Structure formats: structure tokens, C-alpha cells
Amino acid sequence: MNPSTRETLQHIVPAPLWQSASRLRYALQRAAQWPMATFHPWRRKSIQALAAYQNRHPGERCFIIGNGPSLKQTDLSLLKDEITFGMNRIYLAFPDLGFTTTYYLSINSLVIEQCIHDILSLPMPRFLSWRSRYAFLSPPDEKTIFLHTTYTGPVFARDVRRRLWEGATVTYVALQLAYFMGFEQVILIGVDHNFSTQGKPNATVVSQGDDPDHFHQGYFGKGFRWQLPDLETSERAYRMARQAYEQAGRQVLDATVGGKLQVFPKVDYRSLFP
């Protein structure tokens, strides 16, 4: 169904009926994805590999590193001996850091498609969306683990061997992964939750120049295809994450320098280090 037809039907069909039909359509789409995401050899191997990560870090803390411009005002050298999750094109910071993140995560098909060679050269465990498997020209290596993520069906997955909702941000998937690994405290940095580039949420655009919305001007540089942020959906997801962590007696803190996100308790970044 093209966008104009969809908009016309939305005006004609009563809202409750349209919403019910949409939920059913999305449920059927997820059901159709389930067999491959469960029984394909690559996914079976990933499900088995994920078992080794369940409660691997009980009682520990970790840092989830977003990619906002605030990273340029954050002393990342303090993270050298911490457990860290890096996402999407965080590897552009590695040469200056002098070390890599503990784990790597990317769920955005456009990022994975355009950066697959960079991603596969990373030395740490790499968690990628199962949807991105089309970018692989050969079977994945031992460090690649596929997560079954979806755009629809809001849920906070406590067991990431099953389906995860993306919540319109890779950070939300990282929070689910960190929960599964057993971390007691998760600290966000670089999650600015603020974009100067405007447009329809989730729309795919082509960058026309330097990137003002990430820590590196070439992050989504000229010619790079990327999707505009959906901050409203992300906030909904973050609230679900906070609830899940607090119910389990755990904690998510936001140490982003100047970040706009208001869902998690704020903490001064430097105060986290002796």
C-alpha cells in the first residue's frame, strides 16, 4: 500500500477500527518472520551463543555509549577499564581512544549495509539485527551474533534470545541486551536525544554534507543514507526500560553531558570515577 492510499483510508476508516487492523497486520508480519528468525542455521547458532551471555555480568556496571556530539565534551579515556557497549559507527572514535568498546551493537539495516566491511573487521563480539543478514556475502564468523529485532510490537525483552522491539533507537536494544547480561547499573553517555536535522520520523534521507548530529562530521557524511530520528517512540521505549530495570532492583543512569533526555535519573559523569 502506497503512502497516499494509506492516508486516504485513515481519513475514511474509524480510528479504533484502523488501529485494530494495524495491530493485526503487524502481528501477522511478525508471525511470518518467526520461522526464519528461529530455525535458520545462522539464527540457531546465534541463539546458542547468546545463552553464554545470560547473567554474565551480575552486580556489575556498564556504559552504553551513544553517538551524540556531547561525546566531544566527554572524557572517554576514563572508560578504558570499564565494560562498554559501542553502537553503529562508534568505531570512528577508536583511533583517538586508543582502545575499543567491550561489545558492539547495530540494528539499523542502512548502517549495516553501508558499513558491513568496517563492522566485520571489529575485534569484539558484534550483535547485529537478524534483518541485516542480506548484507552478508558469506556465513558470519564466530563474533557475529544475530538478534531478532522488529519495528513493531512494543516490549522490553528480558531474554534477548527471543524477539526484541527496537523502540526506534539502538540504545533501547542495548538496554535490553545489558539487562540480559545481568548488569546491575547501566550508565548512558552520548545519548543527546536532540537532533538539528528535521523531518518526518523514520524517513530515509541522504546526507548532503558534514554530520552535525553525531560526534564525528563523517558519521553520516555526504552521500550516507540514514533514517531521521523518532524521539517520541524512543522516549516510550526508554520509559519501558526504566520500569523493567527498577522492577528488578537495578538502575539506569544518564550521564550524558547536556543531554535532553529526561526519562532516567541524571548523574555527573566525572562523579562516577574515583
Distances (CA, A) of 91 to 25, 30, 86, 114, 131: 37, 32, 8, 14, 22
Burial 157-181 (b: 16+ CB within 10 A, else e): beebbebbbbbbbbbbbbbbbbbbb
CATH architecture, domain 16-198+231-272: Alpha-Beta Complex (3.90)
The pLDDT-based confidence of 9 (bands split at 50, 70, 90) is low
Residue 25 has pLDDT above 80, yes or no: no
Mean pLDDT of the chain: 92
Q: Is the dihedral of CA 155, 158, 163, 168 positive or negative?
A: positive
> Is it the case that residue 11 has pLDDT exceeding 80?
no
The model's pLDDT over 131-154, given as tens digits with 9 standing for 90+, comes to: 999 999 899 999 999 999 999 999
Strand pairing category for 204-206 and 225-227 = antiparallel
Q: What is the pLDDT of residue 47?
A: 98
Average pLDDT over residues 205-225: 96
Question: Do 122 and 104 form a contact (C-beta atoms < 8 A)?
Answer: yes
30 pLDDT tier (thresholds 50, 70, 90): confident
> Residues 32-72: pLDDT tens digits?
788 788 979 999 999 999 999 999 999 999 999 999 999 99
Which has the minimum average pLDDT: 4-13, 72-81, 108-117, 159-168?
4-13
Going from N- to C-terminal start, the domains of the chain cover: 16-198+231-272
**Is the pLDDT score of 170 beyond 70?**
yes
pLDDT (tens digit, 9 = 90+) per residue, 226-263? Answer: 999 999 999 999 999 999 999 999 999 999 999 999 99
What would the pLDDT profile of 82-99 be if each residue is shown by its tens digit?
999 999 999 999 999 999
pLDDT of residue 18: 46
- Spatial neighbors of 74 by CB under 8 A, at least 6 apart, are 189, 190, 257, 269
Share of the chain above pLDDT 70, in %: 90
What is the DSSP code string of the chain? Answer: --HHHHHHHHHHS-HHHHHHHHHHHHHHHHHHHHHHHHHSHHHHHHHHHHHTTTTSSTT-EEEEE--SGGGGGS-GGGGTTS-EEEETTGGGGHHHHSS--SEEEE--HHHHHHHHHHHHT-SS-EEEEGGGGGG-SS---TTEEEE-EESSS----SSTTS-EE-TTSHHHHHHHHHHHHT-SEEEEES-----S--SSTT-EEE--S--SSSSSTTTT-TT-EEE---HHHHHHHHHHHHHHHHHTT-EEEE--TT----SSPB--GGGG--
pLDDT of residue 243: 98
pLDDT of residue 19: 65
Q: What is the pTM of this model?
A: 0.91
pLDDT at res. 79: 97
Contact 190, 92 (CB under 8 A): no
* pLDDT for 266 beyond 80: yes
Q: Please give the pLDDT value at position 34.
A: 81
